Amino acid sequence: MTRRLWGIGTSRTIRPHWMLLELGLDYETVPLLPRSEGMNDPEFLRLDPRKKIPFFEDGDLRIGESAAIVFHLADTYRDHGVFAPEPGTPERAVFHELAFFILTELDATTLYVLRRHEGLPDEYGEAPVACDAARAYFLRQVGEIERRLADGRPHLMGDDFGAIDILLASCLAWARFSKIDLSEPLAAYQGRISARPSFAKVMTVNFPPDALASLGAGVN
């Protein structure tokens, strides 16, 4: 079976790379950077007319959206490691609640506002008031994550590292890059996640020198 992941260099492409590394799965990386000439590759356009990364091929399956890829991997390759609760269980419902909260309230609603109007002002325009509001909103909403971690659990769902931690840790790293100060509990959580061997490896895979050079304009 051929597994191929298109895309590097963003806070969203890091998520499926990380999950693949945690599972120990072999795959091919296509080092496609956002807004690069490679986005016009005819094969990529044929596979993904939306021109969005990450994009993943797993045999006959072809999907985009970072969390969808991560969840597919967690469910399909449970024999390589358990990183998500069983579908149909109460624990899975909590997992989905947290996932959608992270993806909407932390990622799309706040961090992506900063990405567009501070990282790419020539394309989306400057909007300092919106960016200030986004930072304040992020700090309010991330308080829910602090509340969940207040019982001393090392990971968001409890004792074990899981796919949900990949989503959260990528957002917290993005927040730091966007000059949002994390509280002590969140910084401690991020430190635990960053100490995983897979984290050091995925940083090398997702942020090679050319990708790091592109970060002058921020992360995607």
* Tens of pLDDT, residues 180-205: 999 999 999 999 999 999 999 999 99
Q: What is the CATH number of domain 3-83+201-217?
A: 3.40.30.10
| CB-based contact 69:56 (threshold 8 Å) | yes
Topology, domain 90-196:
Glutathione S-transferase Yfyf (Class Pi); Chain A, domain 2 (1.20.1050)
The candidate with the shortest Cα–Cα distance to 25, out of 65, 77, 64, is 77
* Tens of pLDDT, residues 15-45: 999 999 999 999 999 999 998 999 999 999 9
The residue assigned the tokens 């100490």 is 195
What does pLDDT average to over the chain? 94
Which of 26-35, 108-117, 165-174, 182-191 has the least mean pLDDT?
108-117
Q: Count Cα atoms within 13 angstroms, Cβ side, for 160.
A: 10
pTM of the entire structure? 0.93
Judged against a pLDDT cut of 50, whether residue 219 lies above it is answered with: no
**Number of C-beta neighbours around residue 151 at 10 A:** 7
The residue assigned the tokens 């509340």 is 147
| CB-based contact 193:165 (threshold 8 Å) | yes
Q: Kindly report whether the peptide bond that precedes residue 54 is cis, defined as omega within 30 degrees of 0.
A: yes
User: Domain residue spans in the chain?
Assistant: 3-83+201-217, 90-196
Q: What per-residue confidence (pLDDT) applies to 74?
A: 98
